[in-house]
Each structure stands twice: as C-alpha cells, then as structure tokens.
C-alpha cells in the first residue's frame, strides 16, 4: 500500500499528534503486502511461521532464492534412480566418516568447468568437514567416504578412504564399484585405467606389505557358490578395428632408480593350495594356439612330477601320452641318483623314430623284449669308419649262423661257408679242428695215452723230431692207438 504520511493537527486536536506519530512509526516496522516504490520492506529478525507454510512461492532464480519442492522433484527425476535389492527405486544416502569419529551427511555435486566433467578427490589437505569444488572441477572431500552404513567400520577400516558398507538381500546382480565410461574422440596418447594405484612408501621403517588390490571374500553360506575368483578378465571386441595385444594380466619389470635392491621378483606367485578336494595351481583350458609360450632365453625349472597328456601317477619325473588317442599307453622319463630312464608304462613296444619313421623298437614281453630294426635287413650297428668296439651277447645270430656261448653254429646242416674262393680268411687261430667225427689238434709230447679221439684223427707234436712230429689215430676209441709217422 501507499506509505502512510501523518498530518500535523492543531487547535483542540493537537494532543492527538503524539498518538498519530506512534501509529506512523509502528506501520513503518511492519511488512507491506504491496509496498510502494522505495519502501523499506525487509526483515530485521527471524521470521517464525509457527508451523505454517509459505504458499505460492515462485521457483528459485537467484542464488539467494529459496528452492521449491517442485524444483527438488525435477532435480531428483533427472538423476538416474538407484535400484534397491527389492526391485524398488530409492534414494541415495551417503555418509562421511570424519577423522574424529563423527558421522555426517553429505549432499554434493561436482561442478563442470569449461565443459569438463569433474572428479572426486578425498583428503588432499582439507579439514574434516570441508567439501570443495576447485577450479578444475574436482570435488574434494576432507574426510573418508562411506556408502551404506551396515555394518559400521571397525577401528582399522575407519582409516580407509572409501567404504562400501551395505546389506544386499534378494537381488545380487550388482557391484561395489562399476565403471561405465565411454571413450571417443581421443586427442592425446589414448591411455585409460579403471583403477590406477600409485602408492609411494617413504621412511626407514619396515613395511610388511603394499597390495594394490586385496581379494578377501568370506563365504558363510550353506548352499552352493559356483565360482569365486580374485580377478576375472573378460574382454569383448565389438568394433571393426584391430586390437594388437590383449592381456588378462600383464606384469612388467620393476625398475630400480636409486641404488636400492630387490631380493626376489615374481611375475606370479601361487602359494600352496591344499584345502580343496582337487587342488590345481594353474588350470589351463587352451585348445588352440599355445598353452604356454616362453619366448625369452631364460631356462625353465619344475621341481615336481610332470604329466603331459594325462596325470602323472607313477612317481617318475615325467609321463607323457597322446590325449587325442583312446589308449592306456604312456611313456616316461625319469632320473634317480645314478640312472636316467626312458621307457613305456605297461607291456608295450618302445619305438625310436628319426625322419618321421620308426627305425628301431624294443618289443613287448610277448615278442621277447627284442631290440629289432623296424624294417628287416635295413639298419646297421656302427659304420665302416665308426666301429662298435665290443658286442657282448649270449647268442649271436647272423644270416643263418648262430654264435652262442663260444659255439658258432649254422642254422641248417652243411650250409655255412667260412670265406670264399675270392675272399679267403688270412688266418684262423684255433686249438682243434673237427671234421665229421675226427679231430686235428696239436700239443707237446706224445698223444698216446693222453688225447682221446676217433680213428682217423691227426695230432701235430710241437716238440717232435724226425718220425715223431705227426701222429695218426689208427685204432681204438680211447686215448690209445696213436702211431707216429
């Protein structure tokens, strides 16, 4: 309304002027529903609505304007709803654990600067209650962050920068952390990591461990947990470009830049697994390419028993079999304190192959365990320039002749010839020659009464003289009947 202006009265009404002045002052201290131009219409103290509402309030425009419930609803509807475990959408509640143990609620937004999406930083030299959006669009929290609140963090985990403390009941197709980033239009080197750990340890103390990621799942159920893994890598190529290399796990060398030392460096270390019904340190199901490729020049070391193509149950160094063939045949390689052994597990032949062809084989027991050439009359033992020094054998069978325990015997009677007319023997060293039933032998002294032979046998005396050098057996079947010639 128009500002009230008091008129001064005179005469008999002059005493009323004092009351009119009081009314004027009182009106000036009241709010006006329709103030006039330049009329002062501001509060000088708190306004108590006494639980009554201010209605028909316009939407906020300026930073100092009150925000209406309608505007809050519009902001909430523009945010992605959170799916709770019972299938209903709900609100996001977040709590901040301060350094002095107090818990406070936080409502925060990340300010975008120059079109850039801001990030969230926790700590960074802020006071416990500070929440700052800096000029780069980074939201900085001065305290540790907690998502959920059941159970409460214990004394040590209170120091963790980010907590996920919640109950998931019913639907479990969710994650404690999910990265749904889209990358396109790259103008830099093109590098991105969902999780980047750069931890710096300083000081002269003894640090027990620094793990960038710790997997400590606890299963307390009574049903069945089908699979659990500390790390699962699942890559999908849905584009048309080329991926040069895809690693499930990549471990690079740890550089030493300031003169320190590293006692041992392991790309992957698997501790002793023994708690399950079946314990396997590395389980590979590769069907194409290579299961293991060692492309460096470093040697490989394996202490335990090795089984290729099947499980090694023989307590030997290595067993091997062709897993694509339905057979129980397995070979083995083994060593002990003084012996190296190569063989076959079971009664099966052992074959030696060169040039993709079998050359020699050791037969099974049914075939006499013989060492034989795979093709008859085709392979030699030794060569003309590299002879075999000695052959020890109980029986030597060569082209129809058997040599067994100092006896050279043809396989059939009257078929073996020693030398030929064109290739004669240079010499024969022997103590006795047997022709039919007669013999030809030699010695010192007379054979009479000494040498037993059939009639017609000959004896050459090495110490004889004229008439006593050659003896002929002319009678008898004993050692008598020798006549000097």
The values of phi and psi at residue 202, to 5°, are: -125, 170
CA–CA gap between residue 36 and residue 26 (Å, rounded): 17
Across 326-414, where does the E strand assignment appear? 330-335, 340-345, 350-354, 357-362, 371-373, 395-398, 401-404, 407-410
pLDDT tens profile 244-294 = 999 999 999 999 999 999 999 999 999 999 999 999 999 999 999 999 999
CB 483 within 8 A of CB 469: no
3-class secondary structure per residue, 196-221: CCCCCCCCCCCCCCCCCCCCCCCCCC
pLDDT of 200 above 60: yes
pLDDT tens profile 46-63 = 888 888 888 888 888 888
For the chain, give percent helix, strand, coil, nearest 5: 5, 20, 75
pLDDT of 81 above 50: no
CA–CA gap between residue 165 and residue 151 (Å, rounded): 6
Cis peptide before 426 (omega within 30 of 0): no
Three-point CA angle 265, 230, 143, nearest 5°: 90
The Cβ of residue 471 has, within 10 Å, a number of other Cβ atoms equal to 23
CA–CA gap between residue 395 and residue 392 (Å, rounded): 9
DSSP code per residue over 424-435: --S----SEEEE
Contacts of the segment 157-164: beta carbons below 8 A, 24+ positions apart: 158/97, 158/101, 161/122, 161/123, 162/122, 163/97
Measure Cα distances from 149 to 115, 160, 412 in Å.
34, 14, 102
Buried b (16+ CB within 10 A) or exposed e, 140-178: bbbbbbbeebeeeeeeeeeeeeebeeeeeeeeeeeeeee
Enter the DSSP assignment of 12.
G
CB 300 within 8 A of CB 292: no
pLDDT of 159 above 60: yes
CA 455 remoteness from chain centre: 89
pLDDT level of residue 86 (50, 70, 90 thresholds): very low
Tokens 């790309």 found at: 267
Average pLDDT, the chain: 81
Q: Decide the pairing of beta strands 144-147 and 131-133.
A: unpaired
pLDDT tens profile 349-393 = 999 999 999 999 999 999 989 999 999 888 988 998 998 888 777
Least confident of 25-29, 334-338, 450-454: 25-29
pLDDT tens profile 116-133 = 334 444 444 555 555 566
Stretch 413-440: mean pLDDT, rounded?
A: 83
The pLDDT assigned to 106 comes to: 38
User: Quick one: which of 339, 328, 294, 334 has its CA closest to 314?
Assistant: 334
pLDDT of 1 above 60: no
Q: Where are the domains of the chain?
A: 1-51, 91-168, 429-485
pLDDT tens profile 205-244 = 999 999 999 999 999 999 999 999 999 999 999 999 999 9
The pair of three-digit structure tokens given for residue 267, joined into one six-digit string: 């790309």
């Amino acid at each position: 309304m128009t500002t009230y202006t008091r008129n001064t009265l005179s005469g008999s009404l002059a005493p009323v002027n004092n009351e009119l002045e009081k009314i004027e002052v009182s009106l000036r201290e009241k709010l006006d529903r329709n103030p006039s131009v330049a009329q002062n219409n501001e509060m000088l103290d708190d306004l108590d609505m006494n639980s009554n509402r201010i209605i028909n309030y316009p939407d906020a425009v300026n930073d100092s304007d009150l925000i209406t419930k309608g505007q809050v609803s519009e902001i909430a509807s523009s945010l992605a709803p959170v799916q709770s475990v019972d299938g209903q959408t709900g609100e996001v509640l977040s709590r901040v654990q301060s350094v002095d143990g107090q818990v406070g609620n936080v409502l925060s937004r990340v300010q975008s600067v120059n079109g850039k999406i801001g990030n969230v930083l926790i700590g960074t030299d802020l006071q416990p209650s500070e929440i700052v959006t800096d000029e780069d669009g980074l939201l900085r929290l001065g305290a540790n962050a907690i998502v959920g609140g059941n159970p409460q963090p214990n004394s040590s985990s209170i120091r963790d920068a980010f907590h996920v403390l919640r109950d998931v009941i019913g639907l479990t197709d969710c994650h404690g952390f999910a990265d749904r980033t889209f990358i396109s239009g790259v103008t830099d080197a093109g590098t991105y990591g969902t999780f980047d750990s750069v931890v710096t340890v300083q000081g002269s103390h003894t640090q027990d461990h620094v793990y960038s990621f710790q997997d400590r799942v606890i299963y307390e159920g009574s049903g069945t947990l089908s699979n659990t893994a500390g790390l699962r890598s699942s890559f999908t190529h849905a584009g048309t470009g080329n991926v040069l290399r895809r690693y499930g796990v990549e471990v690079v060398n740890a550089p030493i830049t300031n003169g320190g030392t590293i006692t041992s460096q392991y790309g992957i270390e698997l501790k002793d697994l023994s708690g399950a019904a079946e314990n396997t340190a590395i389980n590979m199901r590769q069907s194409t390419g290579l299961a293991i490729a060692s492309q460096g020049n470093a040697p490989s070391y394996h202490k335990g028993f090795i089984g290729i193509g099947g499980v090694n149950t023989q307590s030997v160094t290595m067993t091997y079999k062709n897993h694509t063939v339905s057979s129980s045949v397995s070979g083995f390689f083994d060593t002990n304190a003084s012996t190296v052994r190569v063989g076959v597990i079971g009664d099966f032949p052992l074959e030696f192959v060169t040039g993709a062809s079998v050359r020699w084989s050791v037969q099974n027991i049914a075939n006499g365990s013989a060492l034989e050439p795979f093709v008859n009359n085709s392979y030699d033992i030794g060569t003309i320039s590299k002879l075999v020094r000695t052959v020890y054998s109980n029986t030597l069978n060569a082209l129809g002749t058997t040599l067994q325990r100092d006896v050279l015997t043809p396989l059939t009677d009257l078929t073996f010839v020693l030398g030929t007319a064109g290739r004669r023997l240079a010499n024969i060293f022997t103590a006795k020659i047997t022709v039919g039933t007669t013999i030809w032998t030699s010695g010192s002294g007379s054979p009479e009464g000494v040498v037993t032979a059939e009639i017609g046998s000959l004896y050459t005396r090495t110490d004889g003289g004229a008439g006593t050098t050659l003896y002929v057996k002319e009678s008898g079947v004993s050692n008598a009947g020798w006549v000097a010639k």
